[in-house]
Amino acid sequence: MIKRLGLLVLVVALIGVIFTGCGNEDADTSTDGTAEVEVGELQDGHYLVKMPVSDHGNYPMAQMEVKDGEIASFNYAEILATEGEEKSEDNYNYPEGLEVIKNLNDQFNDKKDLDEIDFDAVSGATHTKEGFKEVVNQLLEKASKGETYEPVYTDGEYTAEADEASHGWLAEVKVVVRDGQIVGIDYAEVAVEDTESSKVVFDDDNKPVMGTDDQPKTEPVEVKAGDKKSVENYAYLDSFDVVKGAQKQIIDNNGTENLDLDGITGATNTRTTMVELVEKALEGAK
């Protein structure tokens, strides 16, 4: 009886070890961080997904056409927020990233199944690969729900200019619209006459050199009529962050309505002028 009981305990213990081992294998299974969505039957139509502008000033946008319940065409691109152009050899100095974009487009148009994509076919550009997965999942989810895309604006490049200069600088903007979406905003302030200005002094790490008053050191600089305001001729650095922040929000929002500009502090006049000029430029796109 004791031998039988001992044998039973041993069997139970072995079973426990086996199942515990299986449980650990499941727990250790790693993922790429991109959750796949449940996708039903795809509904015919045109679909578009535009992701938020990144801190690097670019973002993914993709479109997909579904016909007879099948993916008929697909294109993924990464766009530069200021120029409104897709990354290419002419404007983007990272050939590996461009090759990854091309390879993923070719694979998905051929296989039309995200699970069959070989993301290791071309090395590098990890963020592009993750962005691609997320965009495709969103497109498939929209297509399964029939959430088709309708263009908001007429494609083209639209410009506007302030009525008068402010402190010697005249504000202007160019808004690029493609596929009915705002894809690029180039805001600038241009010197209307020769003048003197100042710029911040930067160290070798491109950080402002601070003075004894805890303010960035500056040095005088000559500005010529027609020069655009930049860190090379203007010392108020907050204004450039404001332009970048407003650019992101307008592109992400695809317009100037319902913007949350409270988080963009400083250079209030620049922020207000930029939004007003974008609205003025877009009047020709509606």
Residues 196 and 262 in one domain: yes
**Position 86 in a domain:** yes
Q: Is the pLDDT of residue 5 over 80?
A: no
pLDDT at 12: 37
Residues 106 and 176 in one domain: no
Question: In which band, very low, low, confident or very high, does the pLDDT at 4 lie, cut at 50, 70 and 90?
Answer: very low
167-190 pLDDT, tens per residue? 999 999 999 999 999 999 999 999
Question: Which two tokens mark 162?
Answer: 């302030």
CATH of the domain at 192: 3.90.1010.20
**Position 272 in a domain:** yes
Question: In which band, very low, low, confident or very high, does the pLDDT at 16 lie, cut at 50, 70 and 90?
Answer: very low
Distance CA 270, CA 258 (A): 18
pLDDT at 231: 97
Tokens 């000029």, located at residue: 277
**Position 83 in a domain:** yes
* Closest-CA residue to 63 (of 124, 148, 126, 145): 148
Secondary structure (DSSP) of 193-220:
S-EEEEEE-B-TTS-BPB-TTSSB-EEE
pLDDT at 23: 36
**Which one-letter DSSP state was computed for residue 30?**
-
Number of domains in the chain: 2
Average pLDDT along the chain: 88
pLDDT at 30: 33
**Position 190 in a domain:** yes
pLDDT at 262: 82
Half-sphere exposure of 179 (CA within 13 A, CB side): 18
Give the mean pLDDT of 122-150.
96
* Closest-CA residue to 162 (of 188, 185, 183): 188
Q: Is the pLDDT of residue 18 over 60?
A: no
**Position 253 in a domain:** yes
Residues 193 and 267 in one domain: yes
Q: Is the pLDDT of residue 222 over 70?
A: yes
Q: Is the pLDDT of residue 6 over 70?
A: no
Which residue type sits at 201? V
Question: In which band, very low, low, confident or very high, does the pLDDT at 39 lie, cut at 50, 70 and 90?
Answer: low
Question: In which band, very low, low, confident or very high, does the pLDDT at 265 lie, cut at 50, 70 and 90?
Answer: confident
Question: In which band, very low, low, confident or very high, does the pLDDT at 17 lie, cut at 50, 70 and 90?
Answer: very low
pLDDT at 37: 52
Q: Is the pLDDT of residue 151 over 90?
A: yes
Q: Which of 130-134, 139-143, 161-165, 259-263 has the lowest mean pLDDT?
A: 259-263
* Of 34 and 183, the one with more pLDDT: 183
Q: Are 186 and 174 in contact (CB under 8 A)?
A: yes
**Position 23 in a domain:** no
Give the mean pLDDT of 41-63.
97
Backbone angles phi, psi at 159, to 5 degrees: -125, 160
**Position 5 in a domain:** no
Residues 182 and 103 in one domain: no
pLDDT at 261: 86
Quote the percentage of the chain above a pLDDT of 90: 81
* Closest-CA residue to 246 (of 185, 174, 191, 175): 185
Residues 59 and 95 in one domain: yes
pLDDT at 36: 55
Q: Is the pLDDT of residue 105 over 70?
A: yes
Question: In which band, very low, low, confident or very high, does the pLDDT at 29 lie, cut at 50, 70 and 90?
Answer: very low
